[in-house]
Each structure stands twice: as C-alpha cells, then as structure tokens.
Amino acid sequence: MNLLKETSHLIKDNIRDYGMYIALVAIMITFNVMTSGTFMSSRNISNLLDASGYIAVLAVGMTLVIVIRHIDLSVGYVAGFLGAIAAILLMQQGLSVWLVIPIILVLGIVIGLMNGFLIAQLGIPAFVASLAGMLIFRGALLQVTEGTGTIIVQDDIFNAIGNGYLPAIKYFYNRHVLTLIIGAVGVVLYIFSELKNRHDKSKYNFDVISMPIFLIKLVFVSAIIAYITWILAGYNGISWTLVIVLLVTMVYHFITNKTVLGRQVYAVGSNPEAAHLSGINVKNVTYMVMGSMSMLAALSGILYTSRLQSATTTAGMLFELDAIAAAYVGGVSSAGGVGKVTGAIIGAIVMASLTNGMNLLGVGISYQYMIRGGVLAGAVIFDVITRKRGK
Amino acid sequence: MNLLKETSHLIKDNIRDYGMYIALVAIMITFNVMTSGTFMSSRNISNLLDASGYIAVLAVGMTLVIVIRHIDLSVGYVAGFLGAIAAILLMQQGLSVWLVIPIILVLGIVIGLMNGFLIAQLGIPAFVASLAGMLIFRGALLQVTEGTGTIIVQDDIFNAIGNGYLPAIKYFYNRHVLTLIIGAVGVVLYIFSELKNRHDKSKYNFDVISMPIFLIKLVFVSAIIAYITWILAGYNGISWTLVIVLLVTMVYHFITNKTVLGRQVYAVGSNPEAAHLSGINVKNVTYMVMGSMSMLAALSGILYTSRLQSATTTAGMLFELDAIAAAYVGGVSSAGGVGKVTGAIIGAIVMASLTNGMNLLGVGISYQYMIRGGVLAGAVIFDVITRKRGK
Amino acid sequence: SDTQTDEGSGGDSDEGTSDEGSSDDAIDVGIILPTRDEPRWVQDEQRFRDAIADSDYTTEILFSQGSSANELQNVETLISRGIDVLIMSPHDGDAAGAAAKAASMEGIKVISYDRLITNTDAVDYYVTFDSFAVGEAQGQYLIDNTDGSGIPLYLYAGASSDNNAFLFFEGAWSVLQPKIADGTFVVANSSAAEELSSKNELTRDELGQILNQVTTNWDPNEAINKAQTHLTSAGAELKGDVAVLAPNDGTARSIADTFSSDSEVTSYVITGQDAEKASIQYIIDGKQSMTVFKDVRRLVEDAMGMAITILDGSDPETTGSYDNGSVDVPALQSEVITVDQANVEAELIESGYYEASEFTGLE
Amino acid sequence: MADVILEMANITKTFPGVKALDQVNFQVEKGEIHFLVGENGAGKSTLMKVLSGVYPYGNYEGDIIYEGKVQQFNKIQDSVNVGIAIIYQELALFPDLSVYENIYMGNEVKDGGIINWNQTIVKAKEMLQKVNLKVNPETLIKDLGVGKQQLVEIAKALSKQVKLLILDEPTAALNEDDSENLLELIKELKKQGITCIMISHKLKEVAAIADKATILRDGQTIITLDAKKGEIDEPTIIRHMVGREMNQIYPERANRNIGDTVLELINWSAYDTQLGRAVVKDANLHLKRGEIIGIAGLMGAGRTELALSMFGNPKSYKLMGSMALNGQAQNFKHTSDAIKAGMAYVTEDRKGNGLFLLNTITKNVSASKLSGIAHNGIINTNEEIKVAEHYKNSLHIKASSIEQLVGKLSGGNQQKVSLGKWLFAGPNILILDEPTRGIDVGAKFEIYSVMNTLIEKGMSIIMISSELGEILGMSDRIYVMAEGKITGELDRQEADQEKVMALATK
Ligand SMILES: Nc1ncnc2c1ncn2[C@@H]1O[C@H](COP(=O)(O)OP(=O)(O)OP(=O)(O)O)[C@@H](O)[C@H]1O
Ligand SMILES: Nc1ncnc2c1ncn2[C@@H]1O[C@H](COP(=O)(O)OP(=O)(O)OP(=O)(O)O)[C@@H](O)[C@H]1O
Ligand SMILES: [Mg+2]
Ligand SMILES: [Mg+2]
C-alpha cells in the first residue's frame, strides 16, 4: 500500500508546515461542536475573517521583519497614528479618499525607511529603535487627536473598506452569486495552475508526486475553497477587507517565492555574512523590509479606522504584540531565514478564531488571555521541537 | 598641565560610562532652572526617587537578562499578579507581612525558573516565551482580582515599604538627622574604600591615577553623596523604597563585579560558545538570570502595591517597556556582554526625571511620550556610535 | 504620633524651599484627570482653565494616563508646586487613596471630582454626577422607549478592570432587573446575567461574572467583535426590535453600527454616555438613541467654585453626602440629563455646549 | 608575451593590529593558471578579498588594473559584473536553502525580476554535472558535508559569466579523486579561455598544473615563478615561502623524556545528531606524558570533532567507546568536568569560540579557572591582575596593557591570550587545534617554544594542524585522520609529507 506510505512520508516531511493547518482545523471543529454549529455559520466566519484583517496584514509584514532577524514594536501606534491622519485628511481637509489612501501608504513607507535608517545605517538594535518609535508615535497620535478626540469618518467609500462587501449582483437560493462565481473561478485557476505546474515539472522530467496523491490533493483543496466561498456566499459574501487581505497575501507570497528580492530577504535572514559575500546589499534589503512593514502598518491603520468608522485616541495599542504572536504561531523563526507569508495569515486566523470562539462560548476575558498565551507558547514549542527533530 | 591631559584622557576612555551621568546632571540642572528650583527641592527629589523605585529594580534584572542576550516581556504582569497575590495573602488570608514577602519572592523565583526552562532547556526564543507569559499573567491578574476588584491593603508595615521613611530620631535645623548621619557614614566608607583600593594597587605596584586627580575624584563624589543626603534630609529623609533600591543595587553590583557568578554571566553574554568551552554551564547561568529577573519582578510588585496601598486590576501594564527603556538608556547592549547594574539605575532615574520634570513644567502628555521616545533613541545612538568609535 | 511631627516639620521645611524656590510660580489649585485618551477629559482641561481664568488664582492640570502610579506621582508633583486645593478625578477610586492621603497630610483640601476616592478619610468634598444614576438613566431609557414584552436585551459594560464600569452597570441593573424578572426583557447575550436575573442587589463577585462576559474594555473594536458574535449566536427570536445597554458613546457607536448592519434587527434602542460630539451626530442621524449628558461645564464650575471658596477661606455648600467606605464625604451633585433626538438641540446646542455648525442635519 | 588581464599594484591593507598586505604587486596574464602560495596568514585571502571588492575601494591603498582599466569596486557585485568570480575560503552558503537556490543566489535565472525555478533547477543540474557533484539539487546545504559544499561553491562561481575565476583553497576539503577532478575541470576552463587564480597549500598540485606561482610572505610579494622557465618545484616554493631553512622554524627540543600513558581512546566514535552522521569513527589513540602528538588531516576530516568529543562533548554528540585518563575511565558530563580532570582545549577558531573579544586580556585569561582567583566565590581582582600580568610577560603578549580589549589585538597575540587562558587552568593534557592558523612566523616560533617548555615540564600536548610543516616539525608521533577515521599512525622518524598526505586522502 505505497499510496499510504507516500502520504505518511509527505506528512512527516512537511509536519511543520501542515501542523499549523491541522491545528486550525482542530480548533475550528472543536468550537463548531461546542457552539453546536454557530462557529462555522456563514455570518460568524465572515465576521471572524473581517475581525482579523488589520492584524493579518501586520503579521505578513512582521514575518519578513523577523525573517531578517529584526523586530518592529512601533507598528501598532504607527497604524493608529496614520489611521488618525487618514481621518483628518478625509474629514478636516476634505481630501478625496482616492488621494488619502495613497498618501497614507506613502507616509507609512517613509516612516519605515526611517526605522531602516536607524537599524541598517546606524546599527541600532531593532528592538530599541522600534521601542522608541512606539513612544514617539503614541505621542503623535495623542497630539493629532487632542483637539477633536475621536474623529468620526463619514465617507462611504472609506468606510466600505472595513464594513462593505462585494456587490451580490443577484441571489440564488439566497446565496451571494458573485461570491459563488469568484469561488468557482478560484477553483478553476487553482486546478489549472497545479496541472500546468505538474506538466512543466514532468516536461523537465523532475519527479512529481504520484497521480492518486495528486488527485486527492486537487480535490481536497478545491473542496476547501468551494466550501469557504459557499459559506461566505450564505451571508453578505466577500468583504472588501477580505479582498484586501487576500491581495496582500498573494502579492507577498509571490514576491517572497518568485522574485529576486524575495530570495535576497531569505538569504539575508539565513546568513547575512554569506549574503554580503554573494553580492547582496544587506542594507537595502533591510530598508525594503522595514519600509514594507510600515506600509502594511499604514494599511492596517486604514482598515482599522474604516472598521470603526472613526479614528480613536488609543487606536493601535498592542497591535504589535498580536501581530508578532500571529507571526510566531504561523511558524516564523527568530533564528532567521525561516517563515512563510501564508503561515502568518493562518497564525492570525488561529488567534482570531480563539477570541471569536471563546466570545461565542462566553468565556471570561481573564481565561481568554491565559488560553491565548498558552496557545502561543504551545505553537512555538511544537515548532522548535519539530525543527530540532527535522535535522 | 598634564593634569588636564590625564583628565581628558580619562574622560575619552570612559565617555560611554560617564556620558549617562553627564546627561543626568544636564537634565537635572535644566529642569531645575526651568522650574526655578522646584525640581531640586527636597520633596521633589525624594518623590522622584520613590516614583522610580519599582521600575529601577526591574531595570536591574532586565540589564542582566539583556546582557545574556535574552529579553523578558512578562515582568510587568508578573509584578502585577504577584502584587495582587501579596494583597490577597495579607488581607484575605490574613498572613503576616513577614511571611507574605518571602512567599512572594519565592513565587517570583519559581516563575523565573519556568521561563528559564522554556528558554534554556527547550530553546524557545526568550521574546516569544515571555510574550506568552505576559498574556498568561495578565489573565491571571484579572482572574484573581475579578471577584474583588482593587484590593485595598491596610497593613501599616507593608504600606510603609512604599510610603514610609526611616525614622528621623531628631531634627537639626529641620534636617532629618538619621539621614545626615547615614550620608556622613556613606562618605567616610567611600573615602576609606577608595584609599584602601589605591593602597592595594600600589602594593602590587600597578599604576594608579595621579594624586591630584585622585583627590579631585574623592572630593567630587563625596560632595555628591553629601549633597543628595542633605537634600533628602530636608524632607522626610530616606524612604524605605530608596533603602530597598540601594540594597538591590549594591548586592547586584557586588555580584556582577566581584563574584564568579557575575563573571560567568558576562562571559555567557559576550560569547556563549566560548563560555561553554571554558567550562561555564550556560544553562545554569540562564536559569539564574531569569530567576533573579522574576524575583525582582516580585519585589517590584510588592513596591508598587505598597506604594498604592492597594492592588489594582491593571497593575504591571507596560512596566516591562519602561524597564527595558531604562536598561538601554543605562547603556546595556543587546549584542550581549555589555551593561552595568549602576547604569540601569541611572537609566531609570533619567526616565523618571524626564517625566517628573515635564510634569512640573506642565508639558502635555503627548509631547512627554515623544520626548521620552526621542531620549531613548538618542541614548542608544550615542551608545552605539561611541562603541563603534571605541573599536 | 511622631509620624505626624515628621510630616509637619517636613512640611515646614518645604515651605522654606518652595518659598525661596518657586514663590513666583506657586500653584493654588492642582487638578488631576484620569487620561487624555478620552475626549471628555481633554475638554475638561480647557474648561478648568477658563473657570479659574477670571479669579486671581492659578492652576496646573496633570493626566494620569490610566495608571494609579502616575496619579500618585502627579499628586506629589503638584504638592511640590505648593498647591492648597487638589481637585482629583481618580483613575481607580480605591487605589487613589494613597495619593489623597499624601495630599491631605500636607493640609491640602482634596476635592474628589466626578469619581469618588474610596476607602480613605482623606477626601474633603465630592463633586459628582452620580455614576449609579447614570446607569439608572440608561436602564430607565430602555424601559421607557420599548413596549411589549419579551424584548431581547443586549448588555454591554466597560472594562472589567475599571470600578466605574461596575457602578454604571450596577445602576442599570437595579432598574432593568425587575423588568427582566417579569419577562419584559429577555437577556440575549449573557448566561451569567440570565442566572442572576432574579437578584436585584448583586455582589461585586456576581457583577464581575456578568462583566467578564460582556466587557468591551471601553474599546470600540472589542465592542464590535462582541456585538458581532452575540448577533451571530442569537436566534431570530432574539432579533427584531431590540434594546441595547451600551456603557458609553464610543462603544455605543460601534455597537449601533453592528446592529444596524443586521437585516434581522428591525429596530434597536441603544444607550450611551458622555455626549461626545461624534455621538451627538449619531443621535441627530438616529443611529444612536440616547446619551447620558453630564454637563461637565456645570461640574467644572461647581468644582472650581468650591476650590475658590476654600481658597477664600470659607466653607463651600454641599447638597448631600456619600459614604466612600471609610467616611461620609459631603457632596455637591449635578444632575445628569438624558439626551435624545427630542431634546438634543435644547440641551446641547442652545445651551452652547456645542456649536450647531459642528453637526450636519440640524435645520 | 600574452596580454595582462589583471595587475594589482602596491596593494596595502591593514587590519587593526595587523598589516595583512604590504605593497603587494601581482600580475596575471590572460588564460593562465596562476597560483598564490604562502603560509597561513601570508595575506593570500586578503589580497583576493581586495580584488573581489569585499574590502571596497578606498579600504586599501594601491591600484587594481583589470583588462587595462583601473577598477574601483565598491561592492562585490561590481567585480562580478566585470566577470570576476571568487570562491571564498570560508564557504559563503545558505544552510537553510537548497543547492539550486544557493548556486543561483545573487545571479538568479529570471525573466524581469521573476524567477523561473524550473529553469533554475535544470541549469543547476548542468552546473552540478560540470563539477561532478551527484546530489539532488533540492537538497538543503546544511545536509551536505563541507566537501560537497565546496563543490557547490564552485558550481555557483561557474554559473556566473566568469573571465577570471579565483579559488581560495578549493581542494582543501576534497579527497584525492575530487581534487584530481577539480584540477582537470580547471584545465578545461583554461582551454575555454578562463583565467584562474588558485590559492593552495598543496604544493603537489601547484607543481602539477601551475603556469605561474606568486609567493607571498608576511603580506609581501617575494617572487613570481614561471613554469615555462621550469622554476616551479616544491623545494623552490618552500624555500621562498618560509624564507629560511626548515629546521630554523621549529625550535629544537632539549630532551625528550616520554613518560607513561596519560590518555587513551578505545573504539571512540562520535555521532552528530544535528548533521545526522558520525564525525568520529572508531578512533584508537593514546598520549604519553611529556609527548606531543600531531593530528593531521584535511579540513573536514573530523579532528576538531574528535577534540570536542574528548573535551566534555560540548556539541553533545552521541559517544561510543571508552576514554581513560591515567588509567581511569572517564565520562565527562560537561566541559567543566574535562577541565577539572586536567584537560584544556585551545580552539581552532579563536575569534569565534575561543575568546571574549569585548573583554580585556585580564578577564579572558582568568575565564577558564575563575576559582583560581576567587575565594569562596568572591573574586580578588588584584590576584587576577597579577595572573594576567604574569602571562602577558611570560608569553610576550604585545599589548598596550592587560586592560586592552582582546578584540583589538593582532591574530598572533590573540592566540597567545587564548593559550595563556588555558595555561592558567593548569592542565596536564593540552589540546591545540590549529595553534598557528593565520598568525605570523615570529609568533609561530614563540608558540612552538612555549609548547616545548610545557612538555619539558611534563605536560602532554595534542596538536591538531592542517600545516604539514608544523606537524612534521613538532610531533613525536603523528595520527592522520580522514573522514572521521584515524587512517594511520606515524613515528616522527618515518613521517614525511607524502606519507601523511597519502593517509589524509585515504
Ligand atoms: N577580518 C580581519 N580582521 C583582522 N585581521 C585579519 C582579518 N582577516 C585577516 N586578518 C589577518 O591578516 C593576515 C592575513 O590573513 P589571510 O586570511 O589573508 O591569510 P592567508 O594567507 O589567507 O592564510 P590562510 O592560508 O590560513 O588562509 C593574518 O594575519 C590575519 O590574522
Ligand atoms: N558548517 C558545517 N556544516 C556542515 N558540516 C560541517 C560543517 N563544519 C564541519 N562540518 C563537518 O564536520 C566534520 C568535521 O569538520 P571540521 O572542519 O571541523 O573538521 P576538521 O578536521 O577540524 O577540519 P579543520 O581542518 O577545519 O579543523 C566534517 O565531516 C565536515 O563535513
Ligand atoms: Mg586564506
Ligand atoms: Mg577543525
């Protein structure tokens, strides 16, 4: 029964990558049973994904920062501060949302480059540099919101980012049709790319996984995509937040896996010395990664402000810790060079699922903190142990 | 003439160590001028020192943690949690304060050893391990205070730790006599030890600083000790908090400079592999340092609870960041192996002086955050640059 | 006792220093506010400055940023500035005892502002809106503005780490509980509340159990998450026309947004507190039903007036007294006003609290 | 005369404490195989790092004239762009990345910034064939031995459009066949018109394939020998390398009184769980009182691992077999046990895991025996200073004072500090791993002298070295290792370069 053997092999070899998914599925099923179905209901899944959006994008950036052996504690208040700036530009300066968003993202990049300067140029440890940044931007946030306090945003387009959904076109047995279409397209694209991939590989005659396994994989993944879109279609369909998170994920996944820049990031993380000797400009890579981090912080700020339809004076508090936790649950390693963007997203969803599920069950806030702490520790222990054994 | 040369040499060679003191003096003088004397008034100095106490002890422990290239984010809520436990034992269990304090300190050590296990034994990165701890103890704090909310402590001895002063015996022109005596003793002891030191050195005929410089140093330091005690004597004298902080400082200063253990800590910090090959048990050292850290967190919790005469539900929030900031301002280096206990104390006082001085001047809270962030960044930049130039 | 003499003489000697030191900029009234993170306190800052402007006394205002330690440090700072009256709104009533003590030790008169400093004898006066009454007003509004029975009731509270959150909720519970018991309301989102629905006077512990489930941490985002999960788990029978107890305006707005986005919720009545600008707009637009308006100007004037009376050497008049767990504190109460669409202009615009121009949709 | 592709004129490069290169002149003609030879620390690697832009323009004095133009390489990429590829002595690979990713790192197969992985793998396979390395390109580097890693490095260099290929001790880690292979490959490349600069300590291969050989000593060019003129043969090279007769480098030992066995290994094996293979296999070895045994072998032979496995096993290998000191079986739990039992290990990598570079000489010297300067846990700083002064004088450590940071000392003096550090621990068995790697001739001589005085005092020394010269010059007996096995034992009389090399590559 070498089919089984192959499977068990695949799993053993990739336990670190699969572990996270298995954990997520386990958590989801558990909660679903305990809440007798509510957890996996269309609306809850939809809410859950939206609620994790602004942390997920941070986690993506943080993963790369940790991959190159740094850390960024300032992201939280950077997000809060830029969110407030966005609100001010929209409501007090009356700029158009199409102007505001790019401005905010650019501001984010500028802030990131300043961090980069401290870290790459002056060689300040990232931890302290960003700790200082954290204080500074907390002050800045208070400063800009001082006069007004909470700033409500009355811009439908802007608020749609955090609360709106793709139009349904029409409903079909009150399922959101556009969502179903997107799901279908997704499945087709996935199958197509897998086939092409396999075809290329065999064209170059590399060895590929056996046909049955391949088919099982195809069916399984397609099923999941279909199931999720089907669920979402049952409520309001795909939210703009989800669209943005998916875009960010895809872009970063592509960059890290398919582009030279991506290679260089992992090279720097895995062995800075060797990277330098291989002609990689370590400083530039650092600038890039820090820049992207703060740009995503800006995006996170936009998502958050839009979600609350207002910029509050404490926005951003402790975002950084949630993001870092998500990244580590997602399997990034502070030893550098190891960590996937997709992992970060899963990590963020795991943490969000915990909070959401425990809220559904009415678990007290104090237990929620402890459980989240326990899960974080557990995830990292699992990671470290499997990595040791892997060698 | 070559007196000047020697001085300038001494300063150049030790600029990194002196920098901090110079900064502190500069800050103090500036504030004193701007507040036309209020800043250096007996009462304010006394308040300032008391206010920085619970952070100062944390900073001492954190310095050693950073010296061995780790970090501990859990200290804040560990302090908060153990502070609450102390209050519960005192008020609800009615245990005697002489029992409670050792119990709490031991609990602290136990928690620290658990961190040590995660870090030294399992090899979990300290950052994540302690991040998990932070969440867990935050939850635990909420849990134990859930029923009661803030727990008021009505135990005069316990509350004296954070609010009481050494008895005055008698007053002399309104000056607290015991304090003056202590100051005098301090000066004498200092001069004596310096003389003995110099005598030993010349006995082994090592080269010593020239006589005039030596005298200048003696006079200068004695003057400072005298001045500070004189100022304190002008208010309520020396607070128990100050006594505790001074004791902790002296003990840790002694351990780090005069004992084998201290040496091993710095050895592990500056090159773990070499330390291991030199027969130093790196794991044990890690356990020691993490244990001492959480023990000091426990002490910090006691100081804080006693100062407020009550255990609050949010006690400990962000202590860790203040402590880390103080440690870095005090000149510790995350590269490992560099960092003084005395530096940590100065760092804590610098940060406290900033807050206190800016409050006296009525500087807005938003600017306060920004300025503190700026000072932190500045301190580390100065540190890194001087170290670079040193090399 | 001898500690007394310590303090005494310490005090004297300090007069000396502060006289020669800071005579030119000595402060008469020290003010301590809990945090600058909430607009309400930021606005207070200016109001206090205006209130004392036309007297010849001086003031200094510090913020505790949600930390009792800062609070104590601020008090010490103000004492060194030589204040004679301390107006303080504690971050945590119990924990503030130490700070109040420090002040009264120096013979400084302590006025507890808006929030009561509890379990200490070191409070001289209390100027307040009754937090309990705020809760009552919120609960009463829900009762008065819903009809029929079996109305789904969604409960939300402030931070479970904040004593005031308990006071507000306690007040609301005191009026809502009978209506829950008789079936007018059906608690939709807290198992703990359902279990306790027969009990009018809850112990701190019982309140804790409920708050632990329905806390928003005063955080609008947390409020959205909670509201969404609650609406998700609630069946259709718990939708329709609903009543929502929201602790303050910040959380009320996000909860209202969440409820309005649920198609099965045909209408909702939702409470608020603080009359934040943002929420007034919501009330005008009909997105938020009410807010408990605590005319802070009145409170500020009362407090400052009281301070100035004391400075002038006479005794301020009071309207009642509060037991803070240790002593009966003579208190001056300003009543709280329930503001909704009907009276929003009268109470807030015409009274000059806000400018009409600051809002849209007002004719 | 063919046209000159590269000329390096009056290159001077100083490191804190060391003048690595001093007015070096160096000329290479198109299409030739040009060897750079010289002792450890002569400056070969440094010269090549200057050439490849590791030490950017302005970081050294002198001119690099390449293809007729004065070049100013500010970063490594600049030298790559003009067709210079270098393989560094310290491998520059990424342990967590696969072979093919490593080969094309910094030189990706891409269409407009987007990497074509399939193409990459195909090309990687070609490159691997070129260097005769038969591994799956998807293997992670950390799962290969240094030997194979070396080949990957070469493949990486070939993957770039090289005109001038520089190899820094490429064959050091290779066995005979692989070396042969490589040399053939290089001849092959020569035919394709690729110029090649090689650094090597293996004089046989120099004699075999060199067109020219430039000899460096103490950072200076001594002479360039030309094969056409028949100048290239080992004796000549050695003469120029050391600049004096062999016997002068190694101080004569007064009297050899070898005592009885102090250390014995029986069927000693060490299995590295991290690398997942044995690094020491069935080693049988003994050491007598007052004796120096040399352990020879190529880089990667497992000598360091052997030493570590004896010295309290800090890398926690799985150990098998038995080890006895003075007849008693030992089973050390920690390096501290080994030290207590009277062993000391001077590491091969003094900067990496030997010294505390940010600490003073004083604190380094006392580090391995703090108990020696402490009374019940409390350190007597004056004692400590006296100890430090003692070793500074007795070992002639050149430093402004004992309070100087070790990181600022020259290589040779750093080595003396780590020697002093271990002498203070008062061992009777001293393991020296590459005791003279990268330190100058003068310092070497002093260290050899110290070794002699030590064994005259009855200490026993195990000397691991890649330098045949000192192995032959200093040892009483010689063990040779290859791929973790002890392949032979030679007495000092019978031993010579050929015999050792033969065993080392067995
Ligand atoms: N980064 C550095 N910092 C300080 N000194 C260095 C550095 N690199 C090399 N040196 C010194 O420069 C000198 C030449 O070193 P180099 O590595 O070029 O010698 P080499 O000829 O390559 O020796 P080997 O044959 O052992 O490789 C040595 O004294 C070495 O200690
Ligand atoms: N960085 C590394 N990654 C993978 N394997 C390694 C590494 N370093 C050493 N090894 C393996 O460990 C064994 C011993 O290597 P090492 O170079 O320490 O032996 P050695 O004889 O001491 O060589 P040297 O001449 O450098 O002292 C070899 O099989 C080598 O392949
Ligand atoms: Mg070299
Ligand atoms: Mg070796």
Size of interface A-B (CB pairs under 8 A): 144
Q: Would you state the pLDDT for residue B175?
A: 84
Q: Is C46 on the interface with A (CB under 8 A)?
A: no
Q: What is the mean pLDDT of chain B?
A: 90
Residues of B in contact with D353 (CB under 8 A): 271, 273-274, 277
How many residues are given for chain B? Answer: 391
User: Residue of the nearest CA to atom 24 in ligand 2?
Assistant: D299
The amino acid present at D252, given as its one-letter code, is E
The whole-angstrom distance between B86's CA and the closest CA on chain C is: 15
CB of D435 within 6 A of ligand 2: the answer is no
Query: Residue D144: is it exposed, middle or buried by C-beta count within 10 angstroms (0-12/13-18/19+)?
Result: buried
CA distance D38 to D35: 10
Size of interface A-C (CB pairs under 8 A): 86
C233-251 tens-digit pLDDT: 888 899 999 999 999 999 9
CA distance D193 to C49: 86
Spatial CA neighbour of C292 closest among C267, C266, C273: C273
CA D448 / ligand 1 centre spacing (Å): 20
Sign of the CA dihedral with A131 first, then B40, B159, and C61 last: negative
Residues of A in contact with C238 (CB under 8 A): none
CA distance C218 to C168: 13
CA distance A51 to D443: 67
Query: Residue C297: is it exposed, middle or buried by C-beta count within 10 angstroms (0-12/13-18/19+)?
Result: middle
Can you point out the beta strands (E) in C165-280? Answer: 185-187, 241-245, 267-270
Q: Which of D8, D14, D45 to mutate to test the pocket of ligand 1 (most atoms within 8 A of CB)?
A: D45
Residues D392-416, buried b or exposed e (16+ Cβ, 10 A)? beebebebeebebbbbebbbbbbbb
Distance in Å from the first CA to the final CA of chain B: 28
Give the ipTM of the model, two decimals please: 0.84
Q: Is A155 helix (H, G, I), strand (E, B) or coil?
A: coil
CA B22 / ligand 1 centre spacing (Å): 41
In this structure, what token pair is assigned to residue A288? 């890039």
Interchain contact, B391 vs D408, CB within 8 Å: yes
Interchain contact, D335 vs B258, CB within 8 Å: no
In this structure, what token pair is assigned to residue A311? 């910029």
pLDDT < 50 regions, chain D: 1, 245-247
C18-68 tens-digit pLDDT: 333 333 467 899 999 988 777 778 888 888 988 888 888 999 888 888 788
| Chain D interface test: which of A278, A284, A385 (most D C-beta within 10 Å) | A278
CA distances (Å), C222 to each of A300, A315, B295, C91, C215, in order? 16, 12, 34, 21, 8
D77-92 tens-digit pLDDT: 888 889 898 888 777 8
CATH entry, D261-504, from 1.10.260.30, 3.30.1130.10, 3.40.50.300, 1.10.443.10: 3.40.50.300
CA distances (Å), A174 to each of A47, A171, A177, in order? 19, 5, 8
CA distance A109 to A115: 10
CA distance A160 to A155: 8
Is pLDDT above 80 for B280? yes
Instruction: Work out which ligand 2 atom sits closest to the CA atom of D464.
Output: 27
Q: If one looks up domain D1-83+163-244 in CATH, what number appears?
A: 3.40.50.300
Chain B residue with CA closest to C80: the answer is: B44
Interchain contact, B264 vs D347, CB within 8 Å: no
| Chain D interface test: which of A16, A277, A280, A387 (most D C-beta within 10 Å) | A277
Residues of A in contact with C160 (CB under 8 A): 365-366
Q: Is D324 helix (H, G, I), strand (E, B) or coil?
A: strand
Residues of B in contact with A388 (CB under 8 A): 123
Interchain contact, A124 vs B325, CB within 8 Å: no
pLDDT < 70 regions, chain A: 1, 16, 389-391
Is pLDDT above 90 for B187? yes
The whole-angstrom distance between A37's CA and the closest CA on chain B is: 28
Spatial CA neighbour of D308 closest among D365, D354, D276: D354
User: Residue of the nearest CA to atom 7 in ligand 1?
Assistant: D15
Q: Which helix (H) or strand (E) holds D188?
A: helix D176-191
CA distance A78 to A90: 18
Q: Would you state the pLDDT for residue C23?
A: 38
CB of D44 within 6 A of ligand 1: the answer is yes
Give bridge partners of residue C323 from the DSSP assignment: C328
Distance between alpha carbon D295 and the CA centroid of its chain, in Å? 14
User: Residue of the nearest CA to atom 26 in ligand 1?
Assistant: D40
Q: Which of B122, B141, B377 sits opposite A381 (nearest CB)?
A: B122
Instruction: Work out which ligand 2 atom sits closest to the CA atom of D348.
Output: 27
Q: Taking the CA of residue D306 as centre, how many other CA atoms within 13 Å lie in the half-sphere pointing to its CB?
A: 36
In this structure, what token pair is assigned to residue B189? 């002891």
User: Residue of the nearest CA to atom 16 in ligand 2?
Assistant: D300
- List, as one string, the DSSP characters of A229-268: HHHHHTTT--BHHHHHHHHHHHHHHHHHHHBHHHHHHHHH
Distance between alpha carbon D447 and the CA centroid of its chain, in Å? 17
Interchain contact, B271 vs D368, CB within 8 Å: no
Instruction: Work out which ligand 2 atom sits closest to the CA atom of D91.
Output: 1
Cβ neighbours of residue C25 closer than 8 Å, sequence gap 6 or more: B35, B36, C58, C81
The amino acid present at D388, given as its one-letter code, is A
Decide which of A364 and C173 is more confident.
C173
Q: Taking the CA of residue C252 as centre, how many other CA atoms within 13 Å lie in the half-sphere pointing to its CB?
A: 31
Q: Is D336 helix (H, G, I), strand (E, B) or coil?
A: helix
Spatial CA neighbour of B38 closest among B248, C136, B46: B46
Beta carbons of A80 and A137 less than 8 angstroms apart: yes
Q: Structural domain boundaries of chain A? A: 2-164+239-390
Give bridge partners of residue C28 from the DSSP assignment: none
Interchain contact, B273 vs D371, CB within 8 Å: no
Residues of A in contact with B372 (CB under 8 A): 135
Q: Is C278 on the interface with B (CB under 8 A)?
A: no
Q: Which of D13, D15, D21, D220 to mutate to test the pocket of ligand 1 (most atoms within 8 A of CB)?
A: D15
| Chain C interface test: which of B32, B36, B38, B88 (most C C-beta within 10 Å) | B38
Instruction: Work out which ligand 2 atom sits closest to the CA atom of D466.
Output: 25
In this structure, what token pair is assigned to residue D55? 């030490």
Q: Is residue C1 very low, low, confident or very high in pLDDT (cuts 50, 70, 90)?
A: very low
CATH entry, B2-164+239-390, from 1.10.3660, 1.10.357, 1.10.287, 1.10.3470: 1.10.3470
C295-350 tens-digit pLDDT: 888 889 889 999 999 999 889 988 888 888 889 999 988 888 999 999 999 999 99
Is pLDDT above 50 for C168? yes
Q: Would you state the pLDDT for residue B18?
A: 76
CA distance D317 to D308: 9
Residues flanking ion ligand 4, Cβ below 5 Å: D 304, 348
- List, as one string, the DSSP characters of C144-174: HT--SS-EEEEE-BS-TT-HHHHHHHHHHHH
* Chains with at least 3 CB pairs less than 8 angstroms from chain A: B, C, D
Q: D touches B (3+ CB pairs < 8 Å)?
A: yes
CA distance B290 to B65: 7
Spatial CA neighbour of C288 closest among C305, C308, C307, C273: C273
Q: Which of D54, D96, D106 sits opposite A280 (nearest CB)?
A: D106
Angle of helix A211-233 relative to helix A42-67, nearest 10 degrees, comes to 120
Q: Is D334 on the interface with B (CB under 8 A)?
A: yes
Cite the DSSP H helix spans in D297-405. Answer: 303-310, 335-340, 361-366, 381-394
CA distance C250 to C272: 8
Beta carbons of A372 and A351 less than 8 angstroms apart: yes
Q: Would you state the pLDDT for residue B274?
A: 93
CA distance C154 to C146: 13
Q: Would you state the pLDDT for residue D117?
A: 85
CA angle C109, C115, C118 (to 5 degrees): 70
CA distance D379 to B261: 10
CB of D221 within 6 A of ligand 1: the answer is no
The amino acid present at D205, given as its one-letter code, is E
CB of D467 within 6 A of ligand 2: the answer is no
CA distance D400 to A267: 40
D1-83+163-244 and D261-504 have identical folds: yes
In this structure, what token pair is assigned to residue B284? 């044990």
Q: Is A335 helix (H, G, I), strand (E, B) or coil?
A: coil
Query: Residue A220: is it exposed, middle or buried by C-beta count within 10 angstroms (0-12/13-18/19+)?
Result: exposed
CA distance A152 to C257: 12
| Chain D interface test: which of A67, A260, A276, A282 (most D C-beta within 10 Å) | A260
- Of all ligands present, the nearest one to the C-alpha of D241 is 1
Beta carbons of D372 and D393 less than 8 angstroms apart: no
CB of D14 within 6 A of ligand 1: the answer is no
Q: Would you state the pLDDT for residue C10?
A: 34
Mean pLDDT, rounded, for C64-81: 86
The amino acid present at A391, given as its one-letter code, is K
Q: Would you state the pLDDT for residue A387?
A: 75
Q: Would you state the pLDDT for residue B43?
A: 82
D144 DSSP 8-state letter: S
Is pLDDT above 50 for C133? yes
Q: Would you state the pLDDT for residue C9?
A: 34
Q: How many other CB atoms are there within 10 angstroms of residue B173's CB atom?
A: 8
